[in-house]
Structure 1
Amino acid sequence: MRRIRSYTAGDIKFQHLVPLLLVFAPLVSGCSQIEVPVGSNNVDTPTILTGSIQSSTDIAYSDISAEDRSAISRNLDVIAPNLDNGTVTATLTLPWLNPLSGNSGTLSDIDGTSLSETGCVSFRTTANTIAGIKLYSGTACRDVTQKFAVTGLAVADA
């Protein structure tokens, strides 16, 4: 008859504790890895905490994609020297087109009066999207490379 060697620590034998450790170790380690997501790192789509009441900003971000906002920014970069000189008039209209999405629109009411102080311009734009044609008011600010980026966009009243 073969004899199994058992190690003891006082009156407790370790040989009998091994099956219990194998059963309870995964259960205990699973409890220590619980995570609760608090926010979102996605900067393209804002986190909407409630779905009951939509704001005009939520609608603007769902209708006009990041590529559309980039197309608007590129067109503002084209007239940037005129904005710096103050030669842009309120009647200037500037069309934009995103060939990837097929969305298009017209920039108007470009106000660069606070450009030298804040680095931002305000504008209005139409957007012809799959959701229809809507009017938006927005703000574009210069980044570190002095290129414009749309920082705010909301549905405007006609």
Structure 2
Amino acid sequence: MDDDTHIDADHVDILQTFIESHGFLSWLDLTVEELERGRIVMSVPYDEKLVNPGSPVGSIHGGIAATLVDTASGFALRSTFDDPTTGSLATTDLNVTYLRPATNDLRVEAEVLRTGGSMGYTDTLVSSVAPDGEEKDVAVGRTSYRLFHDSE
């Protein structure tokens, strides 16, 4: 890395290639929008396949927001590794608070709060464009992970 926050474009390409080869993440059509050390922004386009059954407003299932919180948090933490393509991590706690229905494309931003030798913590924000055209927060999340920097 050139400085404290820069992530090489190759890492973004590697991450996007991983997503596209991953059955569930590719099914969601997940895209990396921004990536820097300790922070990531990702998006998922609105799709009928993600909607709650019988929802009169076409709201996206809350499990999709929870998936975004978990996935973006893991990638944000991975970006703090000396080599983000090595090592692994495991979710130890995932908390999601839903604020309002999501009825449009989803955007998630995850930021690392703290990372150490064996544990990492993140805050996340999931947003969507509301029917009034304004982007609004639809969920917030906080996670903790067990970190394995060298695939221990």
Q: TM-score, normalised by structure 1?
A: 0.30
Q: TM-score, normalised by structure 2?
A: 0.31
More strand by share: 2
Largest Rg, 1 or 2: 1
More helix by share: 1
